Structure 1
Amino acid sequence: MNKLLYSKKKMSEIVGWSEANGRRWVKHFKDYIPEELTGTRVMYNSESLRIMKLLKRLNEAGLSTAEIKLLFSNEGIPKNKNEEKNLFDKFNSNSSNKNIKESIPSIKDMMIPYLHMIKDGKAYPASEITEKLVNHFRLTDEQQVMKYENTSDIIFLSRVRSVRYSLKKENYIEEVNKLTYQITPEGLELLTENMNEIEEEIEELEKVIDPLTIVKEKLDELKQELAETLLKQLRNVHWIKFEDIVIELLTVMGYGDGKVTQRTNDEGLDGVIKEDKLGLDNIYVQAKRYGATNSVGRDVVQSFSGALDGKGARKGVFITTSYFTDNAKQYAERLEAKKIILIDGKQLAKLMIDHNVGVDISETFVIKSIDYDFFKDQ
């Protein structure tokens, strides 16, 4: 019996989108929506329709195309109703984090309080001023440690740095020693101005942007773009080459001397890392070169665990270019007699970049700062 196939127009109609809107979503998520070639026509199957319906639900829940792509990149495509529920639960959790993020004081909010913290004219270390701001705004632990997505930057601390830069640039505070600040006469004068004048000045201060912030944002963008390109390249290499790359990466990371096992009858193990010269303690490796939507489930990880048992091994690393299901992660976490580390495509690309495997250094930038000790009297 012929299976049912849909055109973009029909699929959009079933989902409840206009044809133009449906085409736009198919274009944005072409890496995730399966397609089949029938003669010269591109058609879509029931799995394509399911993903389109999921996209519509996520969009109706308030997510943009960029946010959905990030969610899919981090969590993968749910394969069934249960996994879809888990995805929405995580989205609701992210929404809660979004509310925390919005409650963190803005750069504008902190300008004048920052000056008030040091209006006595004494010199204060940056860390002490930051602590004063934490107490002033009564920030919770969650507000203090919340990070921007895809970076290690803490939102609150990043905003404090921006406040500090703006105030220093406009001569309202001065750096009297490394990361030690003091209010200037201009800063004290600003605190005596009326509210309208203060508001106008704050608006001007908000326009002052730390160039280091811009550089870091651009570097983060370049790193993200490189990771995505690297991952696409990994998915296209021959599986034999992929195994070689994985072993080289783990060796470069310093886990020991690595080698690929025999290509046939490898008993479910693709490589081994000898942590010591005699091979008394080995780490066994499984490498799966999968497409973006082909998840690694619990059964596959469990099979790898069984292969480790066959070697009497206690350590394993499972690396894939796709992602692991929640069940697979939970299974690996609950193991007691052995340790299996799961590395998905996103983590793999990051590790390769961090350890210069498969990438070249294109440019190097050096940023210098004042050496305050140099100017001190002996």
Structure 2
Amino acid sequence: MGRKFYYYRIISNDYLGVTKEIKGSTEYEVALKVEEQLRKWETKERAQRQRDAIEDMKSQAEFDSEQAQELIEDYKSILISTLKVDDKLKWEKLKEKKKFKNFHFNEPVPTLQQIMNQLKVPNPRPFVEFLIKSIKLKRIEMEERAQVELDKMLADYENRKAKEQEKYEKDKQEFIKLQNEHNEKIDQFKLEFEQGHGEAIEKYVYMVLEKSKYPEGLDREFEVQYDPISGTVIISFELPSKDVVPSIIQYKYVTTKKTITEVRMKQKEFDAYYEDVLYQICLRTIHEVFEAVYIRDVKSVVYNGWVSGIDSKTGNDFRSCIMSCQAEREAFEKFNLERVDPRECFKGLKGLSAGPLAQLAPVRPVMEIRRDDSRFVESRDVLADINSTTNLATMNWEDFEHLVRELFAKVFSKDGAEVNVTQASRDGGVDAIAFDPDPIKGGKFVIQAKRYNNVVPVSAVRDLYGTLLAEGATKGILVTTSYFGNDSREFAKDKPITLIDGSNLVYMFQEYGHNVTIQLQKKVN
């Protein structure tokens, strides 16, 4: 699919003796995949433990046959199994609700008796002390010393406790701050989604499909894009290959050989079953999008099903789109999916396929996902030639745009984002575009670079805002060698716009180990 994975986690199941590396574009995606894999392994381990407990091989064969039939039924029920599930994202469940731990200071409070024991202060002996006054005076002196020591220890105790309390309160505030920031991002995500922002819709749909639970062995990869002009969600879905879909219908115990053999579906039966599974995945995906996306901005879904494998004739890798269809929301929501024939339903949607799907014959997608942009040009490395004597305010304007692209490539790189430079137009359009794959805080960022020597006019900030809306971007960033006036800052307030003036630009370069200079050139009258 060409997706980049920036996060991974290795998980294992000791009982099954399996280890797997889970990859994803975001930490959230990895967490979802890990949860799903662990769930599948748990089911598999439970079955394996039951199997291990069966001593009789015939019973084991019967048991394995039941498991195989159940798995096939799960695949045959891919569509029906999702119809009673509420596919909408639960916004509140995405939020962090955990309470910070209560304060505990584990040191015991010093006591007078404890200190008296340490100092070996004798207990009162009235009769002896009556006869020998010095013994009584010695005891009283030691008791007073113990009291002084207690006061000192209590003061030290309270001091340590206060420091622990102070650290606890600091940690608690940091915890609450991070929690609030996370929850505010969820609220912002929800707001942008409900307002129909393209990037938010893409993130939402991706998260809905990612949390959808499929049968054991069916790992999924897909891409999502939203076209705001037509209100269309485009999904490119990696379909399971033939060797992934289970085909064993029975485990048979052969008495003469004392072994268990596998009985598989006949080829014709398997091809029909495999085809039905692919049609069901298509309809399920479309259904989950329409059910989950409760705003009416999404009017249709385009589904492209792709298969990858090795061509048995040539030995070469191949990847083909073998099914494609477009479903209009209003019509699709009237379907009774519990009763449809998946193949006929696909045909009713005027779905494209070249003969039986089991033949894996390619078709042209109805509409394709495009992450590229015809405006993008090859980036140039300018940063390497920059030093403290280079005046950014007088450098070539095109070099300045590429320089800004390099800077933001470094800024975004830690989040796995991609930054591209657009064609030189000098028309006030987009100079660079960044794609951040994070489903919560990421999105599409438009970046404009203005190599000015005077105050940036407010019209430049207004133009950026118009471009941001036209691009369906999450945020706009305006970078300049000069400075912004109050009217520009006032306009940008409460909008998803960041203004970076010359001094802040110099500081950003310094953060990444590059000393640069900006000396504004005054116009000579």
TM-score by length of 1: 0.30
Tell me which of the two structures has the higher relative contact order, counting C-alpha pairs closer than 8 angstroms and 6 or more residues apart. Answer: 2
Determine which structure has the larger strand proportion and give its number: 2
